[in-house]
A and B are shown apart, each in its own frame.
Chain A
Amino acid sequence: MKTHTQSFILLVCCSILVLRSAVVVSENILGVAPKDEEYYKVLSSSGTIKCRDGSNSFTKAQLNDDFCDCTDGTDEPGTSACPSGKFYCRNAGHSPLSVFSSRVNDGICDCCDGSDEYDGKVKCTNTCWEAGKVARDRLRKKIATFREGLTIRKHEVEKAKLSAAKDEEELSRLKNEENILKGLVHQLKDRKEQIEKAEEKERIEKENEEKKKKEAEEAKLKEQKSEENVVEQESAGSKSDDEAGAHDHSPSDEEYYKVLSSSGTIKCRDGSNSFTKAQINDDFCDCTDGTDEPGTSACPFGKFYCRNSGHSPLSVFSSRVNDGICDCCDGSDEYEGKVKCTNTCWEAGKDLNKAHTDTEATVTHNDDERDASIDNIEEEHAEENDGPSKVAHEHDPKESSNAAHEHDHSHAPGSKEEDASEDADSLSREELGRVIGERWTGKKTEEQHEDAGTARHNDNGDDDNDDDNEYDDTSDNGHDEEYGGYDTETEEDHHKYEDDDHMNDVGDDHSSDSHKYESDDEIDMSDMESTSNPSWLEKIQQTVRKFLDAVNPFQTPVDTSESENVRKEYDDASGKLSKIQSRISSLTKKLGHDFGPEKEFYSLYGQCFEIKENKYVYKVCPFKEATQEEGHSRTRLGQWDKFDESHRVMVFSNGDKCWNGPQRSLTVRLRCGSKVELADIDEPSRCEYSALLTTPSLCQEGRLKELEDKLEAVNKDQPQGHDEL
């Protein structure tokens, strides 16, 4: 049955094998792994054997006869005849390897022992010993890393447990405090309202009295008023005299009242009523919202506008008008003559400017430090945490606003794209070229725009400056060169930018209005509560008790300084309450995260890691977000989404949208390392980023054991293996 040629070929093959390497003893079947040898043993006894997939059966002569009898390649472990077969190289001195049958005798040395190339067409040198050494060294290094990492990991897991416990404790304490404080605030509120009611009553009484007096002594009163005006003028310096009583509309509202001069009657803003010219500031409340009484205390919901020339204008509650306390620095709220207010606007203004500059400087240079103006809760508990070794600092958006504007311009040509179809005719040749080209590229030609220095669309920055900060800050994000993001006119985007603002505020200023990323402040916040805990809460409690005991709301006249204290205390307490609540929500949010089965990722919370790649700085903040920064512009690659692949991958999704593409996203592959380090970042598809982060959290005991076993196995193999060579 067998032809001579075939036997000859087999013979040649065998002899080559025998010559080439003594490893292959005659019993060994070419390309079969030791663990599979058992399967073929039957051949020597029964003479025929089934393919593993049952597709066929074959004889001993058909084994490795370079003809595929089994579709799964069972009969051809040592040749390329079956496409789905595997060839086993022993690779003595290194580790064994199974290669695709397509590699057998293809002219390329795939096995370090060269056993896959036996037809004599190429000569493969045995590189196993050397390659093995390298591999073993690598393995040893890896084991060392794992050991080191494992120690750190253990430590961190311990720490995480403590921190988590602490956080939980804090949370429950805060919740408790919240309850107490809520009660207090409630009481204070009641008290405040009682006082206000009493005040109002008192005022109305007074009013009636005064009205009578007024009627009686109208002339005298007039005289008095004009006198006051003089005083006012003297103190304010620059203010021109408005129609009596109307000076206290804020400039922006003045328009509203203009109608009066023509029509004679006007609606309250809330539509509750209407009033005539004579009824303005006649010290009688006609509109429930106070429209008719901008300059008196008659309406409880009104606001009084002080110009405060030399400082900044201010709207105070109507309750402050003529209450004997100087609320406006220009003293305009106290025109009744009961108290004399000196104009302090100029000086106060100076201080403000100074303070403003100071703050800015602080933020710019030391943005991790807390803002001095922050609530005293924090002041009292501020305490440095033993921070992470490498905490990335957020950017200051102010720093970047200029650059961001510039960047906006660079978008502009791209966003022209849409005009291209409608309006290509109005473009210059060069612009037209860019616009058309961008169809294919989306963003790519952008750089060229920058190169070419197109200075169009300055209007965005310059003219919108007064618009609001929002615009400035958005350009920060707008960096991503995509016009979807750039378009602030759409609803969604608008919101988006609001969010971003918060984010920037939090990250950069540590201002307290953030709810979302309060977690960032966590490092500063944690522990602080415990240290001096009883004092402040008790203090408040005591104060409140004092008030409740001391002030009799039904007493008239109301003790103004007492009622003011109640108000202040109320404001303080409710401020503290909201602070605590936001802290509670951030803690709840934090504790809601998945930190791994052993909370091994706990310490990564609130930390950021960065890497510089060409002109970009990539920043990954686990549980928060990932960004790409170029100069001062910032693109969000994604918000924290989840862990994937059993905590081996971090997923950040829903980043800034790409022009003509998806929303950006980032997957971070985690690998064992003794330090937390961002090792690699890449953008395999446009706007889909991938990075590598080493962390001790991934240095697991089981895996270390595997590696050690592997090394041991390889080492055990060594002396023998080497001898054979």
Chain B
Amino acid sequence: MKSIVVLHHLLLFFFLLFSHVSSWKKEEFRNCNQTPFCKRARSRKPQHCNLIATDVTINDGDLVAKLITPNRFEQNPDQNSTDFQPNPLILSLSVYQDGILRFKIDEDPVYNPPKKRFQVPDVVVSEFESKKLWLQRYTKGVIDGESFFVYLFDGYEAVVRSDPFEVFVREQSSGKRVVSFNTHGLFDFEQLRVKKEGDEWEERFRTHTDSRPFGPQSISFDVSFYGADFVYGIPEHATSLVLKPTKGPGVEESEPYRLFNLDVFEYLHESPFGLYGSIPFMLSHGKSHGTSGFFWLNAAEMQIDVLGTGWDAESSIVLPSDQKRIDTLWMSEAGIVDAFFFIGPKPKDVVKQYASVTGTSAMPQLFATGYHQCRWNYRDEEDVKNVDSKFDEHDIPYDVLWLDIEHTDGKRYFTWDRALFPHPEEMQKDLFSRGRRMVTIVDPHIKRDDNYHIHKEASKNGYYVKDASGKDFDGWCWPGSSSYIDMVNPEIRSWWADKFAYSEYVGSTPSLYIWNDMNEPSVFNGPEVTMPRDALHYGKVEHRELHNAYGYYFHMATSEGLLKREGGKDRPFVLSRAFFPGTQRYGTVWTGDNIAEWEHLRVSVPMILTLGLTGITFSGADVGGFFGNPDTELLVRWYQVAAYLPFFRGHAHHDTKRREPWLFGERNTELMRDAIRVRYTYLPYFYTLFREANVTGVPVARPLWMEFPYVEATFNNDEAFMVGTGLLVQGVYAQRARDATVYLPSDHTWYDLRSGTAYKGGKTQKVEVTDADIPVFQRSGTIIPRKDRFRRSTVQMENDPYTLVIAVDGSGSAEGELYIDDGKSYEFKEGAYIHRRFIFSNGMLTSVNLAPSTSKFESDCTIERIILLGHTTKSKTARIEPSNQVTDIELGPLQIRSGVRSSVLTIRKPNVRVSDDWNIKLL
């Protein structure tokens, strides 16, 4: 016994020694080789697939075909009868407005497969079906074999080639391909079958056994993007914006990009392993074609290889060689092929096309776009009060204070630790009296405690996910022994939503919003820290089939709950860690448990940009890094960068030192306050961009190439990003940086927003960097609305006047928009909003109404200041029409900050109302 103790201590000792070297437990997660379906698929050679498409017909507006193996077709009598004879598969292909091709491949029900394969419900928005173009006919032709052509979009057609089977999209006139499926013959579809004697279906990983009662059922195929320089997307990985090849000659062999929602402790940057969320949507971009996209709606574990040029050198396939091409290999453990091609051709077209399938992002409440203060944990009411008052003491604006798991009574969500939080309503009301909201955490694991009302109801009603034997699945999470609500079932979601009623969630008030964490789901004692794949959901669906969507349904149910409690009048705010296509409709996500390191600050930018590209624009990373203690410089830089990213929240692990902005000396307090204030200054702009995302799906924070699709130098830039079309933000990711190298695209002029200095675009500029801020530029030709006054929170800013910053382009003109609504309700859907377009040209600024004339929304807000960048004029006054007043033009600061000296043309106090039509002419 003694020796065991000694050994134990020794192990501990070594653990302590190395714990900070590598905390990520690589061996706890499966790699491709330990994942049989992935290993099988990855080892297949091109032209493995011998399917051919036959019986092509038009049915219900779709093109339908059978995919069969030729020997069966030929009914070869010599065929070895013991060979497994696959059944034909059914292909159905549909065309949707705006350049979207969707095709599904599934087993044919006439052959009575043992089980219906899972198709992910509630992801594709209902409006999408209404955009379907009902196919009437196809044309037959020959391209390397018999092919069937259907019209896809103006100038594009979809092609199904019969033998060998292939699906692709091409430009009608040139015949140039855009995207293609099964071009390399790697398509493989493991059909469900009845278990035979001797079949070994169980899979083991570490101590866990997956019973796999339905046997192998994986799907894999290749997808090629043409005219592509790079591919992007498929979050969530802590990697560069550009997806590096994982396989191929001259490529450092790596794991495929994995999509499997996991709670990863201290994740690494630069790793293709899966994190908290999964979106199987890839975009390609290149100079020659532009942008295209591929989306596979499938919620099972997925692995994706990006194949380096020349990977297929050994195969004899000859492809059109004049087109630069990127090939990818997609592998999934289960489900069906439900695939979408997006033809682009511009970056924004692709994201819009994707958004028309999975929805645009929900319009956030105005408060949610402000700064959020979180920590694991603000311990008690006194702590909350203290933190809140410190913000006021230091005149730092913030909108939301967050409570992590410790606020609950023993990790029973919807309850309060009454010793720490005896008066939750009063606490929330007190915060709200200064315009501030509160967020509490609600996770999907439910403590198995018979006195806990949620557990009682859920177990009584059978609302839990079941284990393989049919009992309520029992896993370990924060509360100890826990069960997990089966959110796939709409009835259960509805029950869950009711739990957010004020009468049910005792201690909640209308200013309380919700945070969903651990919804991958995280199961501490499960395989790979999640739920066993053979656990069973509603409708006998195996967990393996929907794993990646579990958190999505949970997020959805919570969001519905917040909507319900206010009778559908209040926009929900729910932050989720897990995500899936469609998550953007229900709330916000963040990049999970990052680390207080410069590399994590750096990688947060491509991670958030990737989320934006794949639909989820309202995302952010924990400011400062969740684990560890950031040094002060890193913390300040993190605030400065994150202030320009869509979701802006400071958060920290409970083992870390306190890091609220006022704890690092006066100078640093000032720097962090400035960073947060900058964010509040630009809130009118952000809110306008959130509205744009809500309408079109175009993200708030964008990779440079989205705005400059023809500028090759931007394609793999993920250190800088655009906020809307107007701001270019260059992050600073290194210690003691004295300067930054910024690539300013195109022939625009760029105005440094710190000094007003104009920089010529189309080249790399070296700009000075101080600790005070990071380089941010306004692009010429844009007008950006700001509010240059500071308040405690967004609530008090409501009536404050605006500042317009006009950066004129070479022709002396500029444009910008401003969207305003009540910031909280859905009345904007009835047209209750202000939407203006500001156009500046020929020395005159005009405000044009974009809102319906019947808009019931009003605002007394005025414009107090108009700043003109790049405009040269000798005029000292400007005339305002229709009021026919004259106002002064003088030199003023670009930003009102003590010590910042800049002199820019300022139109003083035009005091026109934002809701009115007017113009201002420089005299």
Contacts and interface: CB of A to CB of B under 8 A. Distances in A.
Contact of B265 (A6, A439, A614): A439
Nearest to B6: A489
A452 interface: yes
Contacts, number: 188
Contacts of A441: 654
Interface stretch (B631-639, B849-857, B896-904): B896-904
A106 B476 contact: no
Nearest to B681: A83
B657 A437 contact: no
Nearest to B880: A3
Given A71-B896, A102-B395, A102-B790, A433 B13 contact: no
A384 B6 CA distance: 47
Nearest to B26: A421
A5 B864 CA distance: 13
Nearest to A484: B16
A428 B524 CA distance: 12
Which of A5, A83, A483 has the most chain B CB atoms inside 10 A of its CB?
Answer: A83
Contacts of A490: 9, 13
Contacts of A464: 2, 5
B657 A432 contact: no
Interface string B855-891: 0000000001100000000000000000001111000
A105 B791 CA distance: 10
B481 interface: yes
A486 B480 contact: no
Contact of B792 (A102, A451, A614, A660): A102
A100 B900 CA distance: 20
Contacts of B478: 437, 445
B475 interface: yes
A448 interface: yes
A61 to B, nearest CB: 11
A3 B395 CA distance: 33
A418 B12 contact: yes
B712 interface: no
Interface string B616-644: 00000000000000000000000000000
Given A425-B206, A433-B523, A440-B265, A419 B11 contact: yes
B12 A483 contact: yes
Interface residues of B, number: 77
Contacts of B831: none
A483 B2 contact: no
A422 interface: yes
A463 B5 contact: yes
A102 B788 CA distance: 11
Given A434-B476, A448-B480, A68 B658 contact: no
Nearest to A684: B658
Given A71-B900, A437-B476, A484-B16, A430 B908 contact: no
A483 B16 contact: yes
A661 B19 CA distance: 12
Interface in B1-22: 1-2, 4-6, 8-16, 19
B322 interface: no
B658 A685 contact: yes
B9 A53 contact: no
Given A429-B525, A432-B476, A437-B477, A102 B207 contact: no
Contact of B480 (A71, A451, A658): A451
B524 A434 contact: yes
Given A434-B476, A459-B1, A488-B9, A444 B896 contact: no
B434 A6 contact: no
Contacts of B383: 684
Given A67-B909, A68-B896, A433-B477, A415 B8 contact: yes
B276 to A, nearest CB: 14
Contacts of A53: 898
Given A83-B677, A459-B2, A489-B13, A106 B911 contact: no
A696 to B, nearest CB: 27
A423 B788 CA distance: 58
Given A418-B16, A444-B654, A685-B657, A71 B897 contact: yes
A10 interface: no
Contacts of B5: 457, 459-460, 463-464
A81 B434 contact: no
B462 interface: no
A interface, size bucket: 35 or more
A661 B4 CA distance: 27
A151 to B, nearest CB: 33
A430 B523 CA distance: 11
Contacts of A427: 207
A380 to B, nearest CB: 47
A356 interface: no
Contacts of B886: 3
Contacts of A55: 893, 898, 901
A688 interface: yes
A107 B796 contact: yes
B658 to A, nearest CB: 4
Interface string B152-177: 00000000000000000000000000
B1 A463 contact: yes
B896 A108 contact: no
Contacts of A102: 395, 397, 789-792, 796
A105 B8 CA distance: 64
A103 to B, nearest CB: 8
Nearest to B910: A3
Contacts of B14: 418
B48 interface: no
A680 B204 CA distance: 54
A248 interface: no
A638 interface: no
A1 B525 contact: no
A417 interface: yes
Interface in A453-494: 457, 459-460, 463-464, 483-484, 486-490
Nearest to B677: A83
Given A418-B12, A424-B206, A685-B656, A436 B897 contact: no
B425 interface: no
A451 B410 CA distance: 11
Contacts of B419: 614
Interface in B257-272: 265-266
Contacts of B74: none
Contacts of B6: 489
A422 B480 contact: no
Nearest to B8: A415
Given A80-B789, A106-B791, A685-B658, A417 B15 contact: yes
B655 interface: yes
A55 B656 CA distance: 42
B540 interface: no
B898 to A, nearest CB: 5
Interface in A484-543: 484, 486-490
Interface in B367-418: 379, 383, 395, 397, 406
Contacts of B477: 433, 437
Given A102-B796, A417-B15, 15 more contacts: A3-B885, A3-B886, A68-B788, A81-B864, A84-B896, A102-B395, A108-B434, A121-B799, A418-B12, A418-B14, A432-B525, A439-B265, A448-B479, A448-B480, A487-B13
Which 9 A-B pairs give the minimum distances between C-beta atoms?
A433-B476, A418-B15, A433-B525, A106-B796, A433-B524, A489-B9, A436-B524, A432-B525, A459-B1
Interface of A: 1, 3-6, 53, 55, 65-69, 71-72, 80-84, 100, 102-103, 105-108, 121, 415, 417-425, 427, 429-437, 439-442, 444-445, 448, 451-452, 457, 459-460, 463-464, 483-484, 486-490, 614, 658-662, 683-688
20 contacts: A3-B887, A4-B885, A81-B789, A83-B788, A83-B896, A102-B395, A106-B792, A418-B11, A421-B25, A422-B11, A424-B28, A433-B480, A434-B476, A436-B265, A440-B593, A459-B4, A483-B16, A489-B10, A684-B383, A688-B658
